[in-house]
Structure 1
Amino acid sequence: MTALAFTPVDDIPKIIQELRATFQSGLTKPLQYRKEQLKGLHNLVAENEAAFREASYLDLHKPPMELMLGEAGMVKQECVDAIKELDNWAKPQKVKGTLLNRLDGPHIRKEPLGMVLIIGAWNYPLNLLLAPAVGAIAAGNTVLLKPSEVAPHTAALITKLLPVYLDQRAYRIINGAAVETTLVLEHKFDHIFYTGSGSIGRIIMAAAAKQLTPVTLELGGKSPVFVAKDTDVALTARRLVWSKFYNCGQTCIAPDYLIVERGIEQELVKQLRATIQEFYQGNPQTSGSYGRIVNNQHYNRLMNVLKRTRGEVVIGGHNDESDLFLHPTIVLNVQPDDALMESELFGPILPIMIVDSMQQGIDHVNKGDQPLALYVFSKNQKTIDHILDNTRSGSVVVNDALTQFVVTSMPFGGTGPSGIGNYHGQRSFDIFSHERGTLIKKQAMEKVNNIRYPPYTEKKLSWAQWVLYDKKKYAPNAANPGAAAAKAKL
């Protein structure tokens, strides 16, 4: 496998200037051109899946099933959907005008923003780089891609393949770490899309603010799981083990901790243990279905936080630094101030916090930042509604977890500290498009326009009000008696 070579810093300004010039030339605007490039992106993934298997195994020990479900399959489907729907997404959208301009064809044109920057993440190095690129290409932009250097084998493979499948005049890659990324961010882009940690997200946003560049930030947070005592415990355990330990827990929307109603915690632990035994055939380290921690830095971070917990490690805790292996680990009786609750874990450690009521769990969640995802396991619709009505999060899944990411017809993104903006499907096209309000007036009917011209008269005012505004009247709000009193004073 080819090693990842960083882009020489002297080449970076030239690459960016070339992409800007390409956009200004109009090369990327025709819909047929965009479709051809999307076909190329689809084939980049489809024709090299064996190579991506090897790269993702070297980077993350990622099982082929997880590569297909969470990465390659999703990118291909995004391409297929965009090619199929692009004519509809890109067509002008008619809007309703007032009586004065209804005949002037008011509409919204969908136009590309220009040159966009997409910065990927290491945990899903194929998907989180190329899936946003689908929307950027479909919208007609030129694109600069920055893969994560923390997943070097996948980054090197994409760098090698991109010129084979996509037009290098419009789509380029820059590789590097902090130095190269900092230099890139000194340049003006028309949109920046970043997936990663909140700390780096703040740096991205600060750099973008200097250029007044809009951003989409896909970040993370401690995604909670509410487990009510009426749930099917065995089913809940199976879905939690799959979603938590998928990609070795290194998923931004992985269940970060459980909020379990008192009385079912021992049965839940029993079922979690049995499921881990079943899924990984008694030994996760030798299982072909279990990944690894990405590098020593993240391994040591997880081991440090696990050593500081005051909870009871009831499952797992075994580790092998030489293999970057950490056994699926369950920690019971974790308190809100425990080390495991300080920040997003991003690894195969699942704390369980026991509560006397779901309201107690709601109160805990609402004391912190809005998470990227929130999960509820319950058979009771009132319980489900109460939790959803009284919490905030980027997305929600009831009686499952992680599966919202593959529903590309739904917007995916965070809120507050867990992210800004969302994408997937048409939303990806929309965030990289400018909705240009357009009104095409005819050089005729000037007498109608005379009512807006000086000298202004009461008659013109009366006509203008009749033409421009709805004549509907509303009674004062009975719930707000102050409105009627204020009107009377006037």
Structure 2
Amino acid sequence: MQQVVGRARAAFNSGRCRSLEFRMQQLKALERMVQEKEKEILAAIKADLHKVWVGRGVSLRHDGPGCGVWKGLAVEKPGTHHSPCPSWVHRWVLQESRRSDESPCCICLVGNAVVVKPSEISENTAQLELYPVVTGGVPETTQLLTQRFDHILYTGNSTVGKIVMAAAAKHLTPVTLELGGKSPCYIDKDCDLAVACRRITWGKYMNCGQTCIAPDYILCDPSIQSKVVENIKATLQEFYGEDVKSSPDYERIINKRHFKRILGLLEGQKIAHGGQTDEASCFIAPTILTDVSPESKVMEEEIFGPVLPILTVKSVDEAIEFINRREKPLALYVFSNNKQLIRRVISETSSGGVTANDVFMHALVPDLPFGGVGNSGMGAYHGKHSFETFSHRRACLIKDLKMEVVNKLRYPPGSQKKVDWAKFFLLKQFKKGRVGLVITALLGIVAAVVAK
């Protein structure tokens, strides 16, 4: 591990990754690599998740929402955020991810040297020979975390997130943690249920529920619970047909350990739809649970699978109270035609992000930061926010050695006149802008002359 980190440190200290030209060259090479290795990448994803990309390929956009857009802006409009500037200090970064779609693209754009540790759970994707990575499980990760980094990005669960943060604290290393959680979805009676349920179904069962901001559970009025179930069932048939297991668009659970973990969440639950399983292929059918107790096991942890509990609440007040009693989620979804109700849910709850009348979309807008709060993580990235997160904005002031007379007011020996003038400058309020700065400078010169 020392050698791996040493090579990254040496590359960073050489300064070669600081120039905009080098960074853009690296990103273009990364894009070309993805295109050239497309078949291998798709094969690995299929092996891990049974994901079939019919008529689609992978692109740099999959390296993280906003990276491709931000890369384009870097080429077309290389401004302050991209050009070498003494106020921006770049770093070398450890990135560890439990998901196969995370990439150092945005981190490299900043000019960092990156050590990547993919999750051992996505074993086929982790073994792809695309660029050097650190592979292995808990022992390798533990050893890697003993090394000193300038920043650590971890994508995973809160339990491991605490371990990462504790290790980082030994070196006072800042961390960005994207930890997921139980993302609630409130459905108001005043909305188009067919559209709402279609969008929720897409977001929940994509990747077999294995996405960090998938709707984890639904909150709705008891009077519409059966309608929600029927609309989701109809959408599932529309998406995957009568035989979900044979559908090329429906994925599988990543491994048998997580397959058994999800099965354990179904114990004692009322299954309104689905529930079929096949351990040999890690298949769990899209499942809907109704009349779920808030104290049940399925409501204690992030499901990260194709199981959708529905809990009933009598009002939006009860829904807000329910959400606020629990850990802060990475995402929150609300469906309603009432914009005032939507604004209320947003203002009276806390979450990493919010999408109203849809799911996922806030994470796909490159101008919006993506990240958690509280138990769902800390820090934010995507697009411009990745640049700001993975670099340090250093304050730099370069002064001239002339006009020393201006400084006499601050030098000893002290006098009452100097104190009076200091009070004047501290208490006098000027409008912000160049005019105020000019007036301040002129008064400073006058004060120095008078004091002399």
Same fold by TM (over 0.5)?
A: yes
Matches of 1:138 and 1:462, distance apart in 2: 51
Q: TM-score, normalized by length of structure 1?
A: 0.83
Question: Is 2:98 aligned against 1:121?
Answer: yes
| Deviation for aligned residue 1:75 | 2.2
Q: Within 5 A, what are the aligned runs for 1:89-488?
A: 89-90=80-81, 109-113=87-91, 115-122=92-99, 125=100, 127-128=101-102, 130=103, 133-157=104-128, 160-162=129-131, 172-309=132-269, 312-467=270-425, 470-471=428-429
Matches of 1:287 and 1:470, distance apart in 2: 72
| Deviation for aligned residue 1:340 | 1.4
Describe the superposition over 1:17-40 as per-residue Cα deviations: whole angstroms up to 9, x where unpaired.
122122122121112111111111
| Deviation for aligned residue 1:91 | 5.8
Contact 1:224 1:258 in 2 (8 A): yes
Select which of 32, 36, 40 maps to 1:47: 36
Matches of 1:280 and 1:348, distance apart in 2: 13
Q: Which amino acid aligns with 2:144?
A: V
Q: Which amino acid aligns with 2:172?
A: L
Contact 1:240 1:400 in 2 (8 A): yes
Matches of 1:269 and 1:376, distance apart in 2: 17
Q: Which moved more, 1:133-142 or 1:423-432?
A: 133-142
Q: TM-score, normalized by length of structure 2?
A: 0.90
Counterpart position of 1:88: 79
Contact 2:69 2:366 in 1 (8 A): no
Matches of 2:55 and 2:373, distance apart in 1: 27
Describe the superposition over 1:272-306 as per-residue Cα deviations: whole angstroms up to 9, x where unpaired.
11111110011110001110000000000111110
- Unaligned segments of structure 1, at least 5 residues: 1-11, 94-106, 163-171, 474-490
Matches of 1:337 and 1:109, distance apart in 2: 51
Matches of 1:467 and 1:91, distance apart in 2: 37
Select which of 38, 47, 55 maps to 2:27: 38
* Percentage identity across paired residues of the two chains: 41
Matches of 1:136 and 1:255, distance apart in 2: 28
Q: Which amino acid aligns with 1:53?
A: L
- Given the superposition, is the C-alpha separation of residues 199 and 66 from structure 1 closer, same or farther in structure 2, using an over 3 Å criterion? farther
| Deviation for aligned residue 1:68 | 5.7
Describe the superposition over 1:110-149 as per-residue Cα deviations: whole angstroms up to 9, x where unpaired.
1202x21000123xx0x32x1xx22321221111011111
Q: Which moved more, 1:54-63 or 1:241-250?
A: 54-63
- Given the superposition, is the C-alpha separation of residues 13 and 380 from structure 1 closer, same or farther in structure 2, using an over 3 Å criterion? same
SS at match of 1:307: coil
Contact 1:259 1:361 in 2 (8 A): yes
Q: Which amino acid aligns with 1:396?
A: V
| Deviation for aligned residue 1:201 | 0.4
- Given the superposition, is the C-alpha separation of residues 89 and 201 from structure 1 closer, same or farther in structure 2, using an over 3 Å criterion? farther
| Deviation for aligned residue 1:41 | 1.6
In the comparison of the two structures, how many residue pairs are matched?
Answer: 428
Matches of 2:32 and 2:188, distance apart in 1: 45
- Unaligned segments of structure 2, at least 5 residues: 432-452
Describe the superposition over 1:36-92 as per-residue Cα deviations: whole angstroms up to 9, x where unpaired.
1111122222332222111100001123269868x8533286145235327324368
Contact 1:243 1:255 in 2 (8 A): yes
